[in-house]
Amino acid sequence: MENWVIIGLGNSGDKFHNTRHNLGFWFLDLLAKKQNLKFKFSKTHHAYFTFMHFNNNKIYLVKPDTFMNESGRYLSNLLSFFHCSSENVILIHDELTLPLGNLKISKNKGAGGHNGVASVISGIGNSLIRFRLGIGSKPFDQMKLSDFVLSKFSKPELSLLEDQKDSFLKAIFSIFENGLSSTMNFINQTTRSQQPL
């Protein structure tokens, strides 16, 4: 049996619920609900976590209880506690370069300007798998990036995410069923075919 850790990025607190920057938390809550799991808080590791078993893997779901730009601060100790290597980490986060509702999976990549991802890479390296959920780009150039990523989704946007949630869940389970390469090829080809011409 292998140990895995799926980390979702977000900001703790009710005021950040349903904001674009909290898609990592949104996805882990979705996954936990599907598996009938409850998160518990670890004061030692400054995170909420739970776990599940799937296809001979023990998979921990982790939501760091820090602000986004400190997401990686306690992860090295947490991975040691869970006996998990950084190669078996899947990081779920919002992605500005993808249209809302699109998904791209990557590995061994830089942070791309995402402060939360940069903090995680600083803490545990960049050999992790990235599960990048699109939030689209700013509606107008003058808008501050921080205002955009901390803005809440509209009802139509939440509806679009709701329509896509099953495909997101299938993709995460596919990594454990079909392997990373096969899943990446399928998901990323699908994403490219969805891009506007």
Region label for 136, one of left (φ > 0), alpha (ψ between -120 and 50) or beta (otherwise): left
Q: Is 46 a catalytic residue?
A: no
Among 17, 21, 45, 46, which one carries the catalytic annotation? Answer: 21
Identify which of 184, 166, 176 has the alpha carbon closest to the alpha carbon of residue 54. 176
Helices (H) and strands (E) in the chain, counts: 6, 7
Q: State how beta strands 57-64 and 2-8 pair.
A: parallel
The arrangement of strands across the sheet holding 40-42 comes to 40-42, 47-54, 57-64, 2-8, 89-95, 129-134, 103-107
Separation between Cα atoms, residue 5 and residue 103, nearest integer Å = 19
Cβ proximity of 102 and 63 under 8 Å: no
- Helices 180-194 and 155-178, interaxial angle, to 10°? 150
Q: How far apart are CA 160 and CA 167, in angstroms?
A: 12
Which residues lie across from 133 on neighbouring strands? 94, 103
User: Hey, which residues are catalytic here?
Assistant: 21
